[in-house]
Structure 1
């Protein structure tokens, strides 16, 4: 959620309504945030006292172990997170025109959380704006969506994302095109990737792992599975991220075979993907994807990680 385009737009709106730049005649705030006033800078940094974000990640941070699931943040937004927001929602803004609450993962609210939030939406405090982020209006309760102003968003094209990265964030053309492909049309996520070099390096390492594993002997595969089991014990999110990268690779193999090169995500790996597409049928690529998905589900269900990951390592060919 932290990197989604919905969140990017929500923050841009929060900046605009609180921007200290001169507004056109008859308007309370400028059409777009200046990005350089004290208010805009603090919103950009996420340090403005009148900005509160509520999502699965902030819930996990606030509630500790109680806010976590088996593989990271819990999968539902609970009433405790909403109540914590409501404890301060009635207070006047500290220094901004409007207090902003961004409820990410609004589609993940359980029934208790939704009903609690409904009371605030029915009688919103003065000078307070509550923004709910969800995939679509049908993913939240009708009683919630009926009390909101709905603003549908579309994904940007790869070309639009790449152009924005070059023009506004100073990315190189090749880098911008890769980030645009990896982001799936989510500008906010593309910007986060550009700023998080470690994430890009982890992706490259994951794809290198898959390449080495595919050509390894049985004994090496078994040993590698042991290393993955240790990774799972030490950092489950890291292992799940690697599996996600592997799944994306095999989807790209299918796209190359189609052929549908415009759907390829790992565009910096085209030579290796074309080689893999010559060696593997679409059926074998689909089987690899299913094996990865089954392994992920087994790990979530607490199957012995060494057993599950050994089967995965032996099946990646």
Structure 2
């Protein structure tokens, strides 16, 4: 755990939480809503640590007993609700870890804080059990729900919580962090930032994983050689995609970024504005070979592939259609 000052972006959310602490107007329930990797856990940790800090300020000191316990993840009054089933949080998880515990006063602090990660996975029964506590929480209780999709929660729960939506973080802030703190090379920071689209966690993960480098190299090799590939080679490549460790959306986003670079270079002939500057010779070649209409058809086909995959259309069929569209255009 660390304080607010170490969090990149999310200025409005941080200001809201700090102001609540400073004015002693902390709510009993909050929802931090944002996509995976956006920083919900860090914000919840910083909020909890600050609330429990012995100084009572709007930024934790990092030195008192409470802060040290929080940083070591063993603070008795900061409880992370866990669940064994990956796809859902059951009613017993809420009853045992929250409902049956919340009546016990804080051990050493003014607050007793419960953080439920992946709260949008709460079953209907679990939500109803949580609702009973939200209706009459003890004065010292603060419940923080972390969600990717807060609309999955009952309206009665939403009405009893303050919802704070996490926005995208500016590219410049993420790039500076990657280069100065994580020591990521300039070219790799540029790619990671462009690919992450304002998601700090995703940018850090991409910059530090070899899987992404491998996916990028394999994908660009396919894009370079697509015109010469036979249908059986396309099918083999589809199978390789399916086995890849990274999410299929990452793969499709990567192709989209490639063709946007091709389109941008075709329109401007400017290398400086490209994401994949290190592949300029291949991008230039494809910009000469493809028409504006053809490139736009491919980008549209990628968007359609995403929609079909979300609708659970057969993976191999969707990818085969996409790669054929790319070959035809």
Q: TM-score range by the shorter chain?
A: 0.5 to 0.7
Question: Contact 2:90 / 2:122 at 8 angstroms: preserved in 1?
Answer: no
Q: How does 1:96-175 map to 2 (within 5 A)?
A: 98-104=112-118, 106=120, 114-125=127-138, 127-134=140-147, 141-175=154-188
Matches of 2:95 and 2:292, distance apart in 1: 51
Structure 2 vs 1, CA of residues 252 and 141 (structure 1 numbering), >3 Å: closer, same or farther?
Answer: farther
Matches of 2:49 and 2:269, distance apart in 1: 40
Matches of 2:317 and 2:139, distance apart in 1: 57
The structural deviation recorded for 1:288 is: 1.7
Query: Looking at CA atoms only, which structure, 1 or 2, has the larger radius of gyration?
Result: 2
Question: Contact 1:159 / 1:177 at 8 angstroms: preserved in 2?
Answer: no
Aligned to 2:14: none
1:207 aligns with 2:206: no
Aligned to 1:183: 196
Question: Which blocks of at least 5 consecutive residues in structure 1 are unaligned?
Answer: 68-77
The structure with the largest helix share of the pair is 1
State the number of aligned residues.
283
Matches of 1:170 and 1:116, distance apart in 2: 46
Matches of 1:8 and 1:117, distance apart in 2: 23
Question: Contact 1:210 / 1:246 at 8 angstroms: preserved in 2?
Answer: no
Question: Contact 2:90 / 2:123 at 8 angstroms: preserved in 1?
Answer: no
Aligned to 1:10: 44
Matches of 2:198 and 2:63, distance apart in 1: 23
Matches of 1:239 and 1:102, distance apart in 2: 28
Aligned to 2:206: 193
Secondary structure at 2:80 match in 1: strand
Question: Contact 1:39 / 1:48 at 8 angstroms: preserved in 2?
Answer: yes
Secondary structure at 1:63 match in 2: coil
Matches of 1:89 and 1:307, distance apart in 2: 46
1:224 aligns with 2:208: no
Aligned to 2:85: 63
Question: Contact 1:17 / 1:98 at 8 angstroms: preserved in 2?
Answer: no
The structural deviation recorded for 1:274 is: 5.0
Matches of 1:259 and 1:5, distance apart in 2: 36
Secondary structure at 1:151 match in 2: strand
User: Taking structure 1 as the reference length, what is the TM-score of the superposition?
Assistant: 0.66
Matches of 1:258 and 1:147, distance apart in 2: 51
Matches of 2:266 and 2:79, distance apart in 1: 47
Question: Contact 1:7 / 1:104 at 8 angstroms: preserved in 2?
Answer: no
Question: Contact 2:115 / 2:146 at 8 angstroms: preserved in 1?
Answer: no
Tell me how large the CA RMSD over aligned residues is.
4.3
User: Taking structure 2 as the reference length, what is the TM-score of the superposition?
Assistant: 0.64
Matches of 1:212 and 1:35, distance apart in 2: 55
Which structure carries more relative contact order (alpha carbon 8 Å, separation 6+)?
Answer: 2
Q: How does 1:42-61 map to 2 (within 5 A)?
A: 42-43=72-73, 50-52=78-80
* More divergent stretch after superposition (132-141 vs 171-180): 132-141
Structure 2 vs 1, CA of residues 154 and 260 (structure 1 numbering), >3 Å: closer, same or farther?
Answer: farther
Question: Contact 1:179 / 1:193 at 8 angstroms: preserved in 2?
Answer: yes
Question: Which blocks of at least 5 consecutive residues in structure 2 are unaligned?
Answer: 1-34
Structure 2 vs 1, CA of residues 145 and 300 (structure 1 numbering), >3 Å: closer, same or farther?
Answer: closer
